[in-house]
Amino acid sequence: MTQRNLSLSKDKIRILLLENISERAVECFNAAGYHQVECLPGALPVDELVERIADVHFLGIRSRTRVTERVLDAADRLTAIGCFCIGTDQVDLAAARHRGIPVFNAPYANTRSVAELVLAEIVMLMRGIPAKNAAAHRGEWLKSARASFEVRGKTLGIIGYGHIGSQLGILAEGLGMRVMYYDVVRKLPLGNAEPADSQDEVLERADVVSLHVPDTAETRGLIDAGELARMKPGAHLINASRGKVVSIPALAQALEQGRLGGAAIDVFPSEPTSKDEEFVSELREFDNVLLTPHIGGSTHEAQQNIALDVSTKMTLYSDNGSSTGAVNFPEVNLPDHATARRILHIHRNEPGVLQAINHAFSEAGINIVGQYLQTLTDVGYVVMDVETDDAGPVLRRLHDIPATIRTRFLY
């Protein structure tokens, strides 16, 4: 296990940003006083990353860079990783935690983008546009008002009333829709939305059902044949959440039988990994289904928000020690430390460590004016605000505690 002390001035801190991360991130780092920022357009293969990572303090990646245990072993100075995207599967999160490296991401920076797309899809579906559009591309002229409705006064049923679901509800009310929702957690309604007692109630009453749940064991197959059968005849289904939430064979059957008016699907159980791979789905044959390639959150604005969100979390961790928003690491939300020095200690979460830490301070004769602790499974993160300008003796003692993973000293 690596053990080291870090107390660097900002001009020595090196930041490497891969995969064409938005310029907004660089601006944010610069504004916080970090000027050693190197940006590369693409992902680096593991071998090259292993070579380049040795003197990097903060690494920014998107989804194509793999941060494996081998990369982390070579990352002697790495203090934090920022995933400038939503997912963090590309990083070995446990291995990073064991080395005292928090990983940050931006889970909600594209909320608005998804909500806007879904809003547009509601209008398109209610007017039967997907089928009319497909027909027009083939030279057919389906000029008819049959099964074509305004959205005003219709009921939107939202399943999963979190960041996206609740924002969608507000936007849909702006178009005059009635909004009802079901969430497994009791959520206060925004605007005039009406909470439902069950998912079934939403399925049975809504003209359009939109899914905004996470991917969990409970939500896989959440919408199957039984749920689709509960929906009103001619109702529409939208899924821009996760691919496994809807049973695609069951949806295809409901469409085949003409029980649903249409659907808009952005996420699939299996998705091509690049544009060179064919998109295969039973839904391709249905003109009344709007198919989009998992782009619900893919907008220029979302990229900018992601850049701002992740770089802010990284600079806060660097400047103040707050690990708020880390996905693999104990979350400590710290106040300013203008009047005290701050020592950050990351350790294996073993019995007796805190006692050893407190002993190190008392032996060094240093007074602790504030102490914050959080643990996550096998790792603990304790932050001490102290009244001393000479932290050397206590840092040496902390370093000698066998469970120490790393320490940092902030002026």
CB of 271 to ligand NAI, least distance (A): 11
- Is 242 considered catalytic here? yes
CB of 172 to ligand NAI, least distance (A): 15
Name the catalytic one among 242, 342, 345, 408: 242
Name the catalytic one among 48, 271, 350, 387: 271
**HEC profile of 40-88:** CCCCCCHHHHHHHHHHCCEEEECCCCCECHHHHHHCCCCCEEEECCCCC
Kindly state the DSSP code that residue 399 receives in the 8-state scheme.
Answer: H
CB of 72 to ligand NAI, least distance (A): 26
Residue 16: which H helix or E strand, with range?
strand 15-17
Structure tokens at 66: 């793999």
Select 19 or 266, whichever has its Cβ closest to ligand NAI.
266
CB of 183 to ligand NAI, least distance (A): 4
Select 184 or 280, whichever has its Cβ closest to ligand NAI.
184
CB of 323 to ligand NAI, least distance (A): 20
Closest among 144, 165, 113, 102 to 376, alpha carbons compared? 102
Select 268 or 317, whichever has its Cβ closest to ligand NAI.
268
Select 71 or 114, whichever has its Cβ closest to ligand NAI.
114
Select 88 or 404, whichever has its Cβ closest to ligand NAI.
88
With residues binned 3-state (H G I as helix, E B as strand, rest as coil), the percentages for the chain, rounded to 5, are 35, 20, 45
Contact, 199 vs 180, CB < 8 A? no
Name the catalytic one among 294, 331, 348, 399: 294
Contacts (Cβ under 8 Å, ≥6 apart) of 44: 18, 52, 65
Interface residue list for ligand NAI (CB under 6 A):
86, 108, 110-111, 114, 159-165, 182-185, 212-215, 218-219, 222, 240-242, 266-267, 294, 296-297
- Is 294 considered catalytic here? yes
Residue 85, sorted as left (phi over 0), alpha (psi -120 to 50) or beta, turns out to be beta
Cβ atoms within 10 Å, residue 320:
19
Kindly list the catalytic residues: 242, 271, 294
